[in-house]
Structure 1
């Protein structure tokens, strides 16, 4: 029997990769060892140090890696997207009532490079008139890839004993941009709130204005893998497409999810975002999404130029009207 190419894939434990993980979908000629145990920050850091063949990777950090010609490439597969207006947290005693109140304030981040924070800085600047250089930034963790901040960027790295969540609750920070729902919000700490209390309505307005459902993560590959086995690119991409199609068909069944109004939520999402908000590939909508992300990265001093998308992502086409997976 012909042996398959053995690859290690690290990613989040998403429904849209369940068919791949469980073996219902298998990329042609490839045997995947799929790891889903790491948190995002750890997985991204380890991939960018060569520990996985293929991995879901921070979009922001991948842009920095490609700007420096590090040995990685990416498929236009986007396992994680998220609207971010609900992830701007404030200390409720600091008189912050609107976005412009953040100007001149002390604002924490887990680390500066993370995709969620890249998007939030860009959105606050472009849509709410809050220049990212008008804020004093405090970062808790080291970056996925070390970088030299622009001379006029106010960015401090906190000592290991400090936590940005605790600093926000204690009033040492005025606000916090974070990729996750923070503990003070979960615990309903009255000292901590959201900049946008009705964040869903704000996110809907943002989407209606921009047609952007922000992409957070790309699917990274080692460059040597692509060079040695170029056929892997299309085969992996097709498998991710098949897995997503199979998963979306499964979870269309409202009995799958234990939520009383799941069908209504699904219908609401489809009416606003369309039938496939998680679409892969360099479609027109995804191009706008990604070009916005690249533009924010360049404007914020993380990358040295606006990198063209066709340079950032591998070509997954198999010729006109060939190799198209039909759900």
Structure 2
């Protein structure tokens, strides 16, 4: 019997490497893996439905659920997780000595609906006294002008404007035209060690460790989605892909903890991994619904409170049930 041919657009990750290389093959599926930048994958999948399977921003996916019918069905596979305190940058002369000083400021963000921004704004509101509507937002291209929201948003009373034509957020930050920038990518002035730009949290690692100790949350950024037409025709694909991706993630974790030769160019990779598991737990990059209910519920609350969701979704409503229920021997 022929295997079902599907195209999977995803980033370049250790946790999906075995899927890309074909050393782990989903049951009954022949995958063509397209290694693409995340922004390109999200745009092409959201706008044109080009792939049968794709990595997708968690926020963009939740936005897509408001369509009738919803175009995608997600798997509880979290290709990207990241604390986002380090995603906040400010101009050195903006009068910002800590996150609480962002109240009343003008903050750039490439798109309001970016998952990194949802997390950052939620954390600022919950833990640092910066309500979402206490900030004015400017959207646009970070390094090249002209970026637009990949999904339509209706934010009610939150003030959002577009960057001036031809201007980038990185240049506006460096020149003091905006006070701060919330972005998943490191802005070019900061990378170039421009003294005019610094992080809002002076000690990012300490702030993120404190956040985890207080909340137990390791933020989820991306999920994997199936196009709905594929899922409805072949519902077994959800469990098949989930099982394979779980195996690939487990294999990547085992490969990471190898002291014979460092897998990545980080001199204290093994020690950093030991510290991470001591602080976050052995399965800190967990897949599946049960281990991530609180993290997902917090994100969904932020998404709703920020005007991005018309209703408050439950974590169990996000995923194909075939990928959250397993047989027991």
Deviations 1:131-170 (A, max 9, x none): 11011100003112112221x2110022441101110000
Q: Which residue of 2 aligns with 1:252?
A: 257
Q: Distance in 2 between matches of 1:149 and 1:57?
A: 21
Give the SS at the match of 2:295. Answer: helix
Residues 1:263 and 2:270 aligned together: yes
Q: How far apart are residue 312 of structure 1 and its match?
A: 1.1
| Contact kept? 2:57, 2:223, Cα under 8 Å | yes
Q: How far apart are residue 260 of structure 1 and its match?
A: 2.3
CA RMSD of aligned residues (A): 1.2
Deviations 1:242-293 (A, max 9, x none): 1111111111113223332222111101101111211110024x11001111
Residues 1:166 and 2:164 aligned together: no
User: Which runs of 5 or more structure 1 residues have no equivalent in the other structure?
Assistant: 323-327
| Contact kept? 2:86, 2:204, Cα under 8 Å | yes
Equivalences for residues 85-124 of structure 1 within 5 A = 85-124=85-124
Range with greater deviation from structure 2 (241-250 or 23-32): 241-250
Distance 1:205 1:227, change over 3 A: same
Q: Distance in 2 between matches of 1:63 and 1:319?
A: 24
Q: How far apart are residue 320 of structure 1 and its match?
A: 4.2
Equivalences for residues 105-144 of structure 1 within 5 A = 105-140=105-140, 141-144=147-150
Q: Distance in 2 between matches of 1:114 and 1:317?
A: 25
Q: Which residue of 1 aligns with 2:62?
A: 63
Distance 1:206 1:318, change over 3 A: closer
Give the SS at the match of 2:95. Answer: coil
Q: Which residue of 1 aligns with 2:32?
A: 33
| Contact kept? 2:76, 2:324, Cα under 8 Å | no
Residues 1:280 and 2:287 aligned together: yes
Give the SS at the match of 1:190. Answer: coil
Q: Distance in 1 between matches of 2:275 and 2:26?
A: 33
User: Which runs of 5 or more structure 2 residues have no equivalent in the other structure?
Assistant: 141-146
Q: Which residue of 2 aligns with 1:183?
A: 188
Q: Distance in 2 between matches of 1:251 and 1:319?
A: 27
Distance 1:244 1:296, change over 3 A: same
TM-score by length of 2: 0.94
| Contact kept? 1:196, 1:202, Cα under 8 Å | yes
How many residue pairs align between the two structures?
318
Distance 1:318 1:98, change over 3 A: closer
Distance 1:173 1:211, change over 3 A: same
TM-score by length of 1: 0.95
Q: Distance in 2 between matches of 1:189 and 1:259?
A: 25
Equivalences for residues 1-12 of structure 1 within 5 A = 2-12=1-11
Q: Distance in 2 between matches of 1:319 and 1:260?
A: 39
Distance 1:138 1:318, change over 3 A: closer
Residues 1:290 and 2:296 aligned together: yes
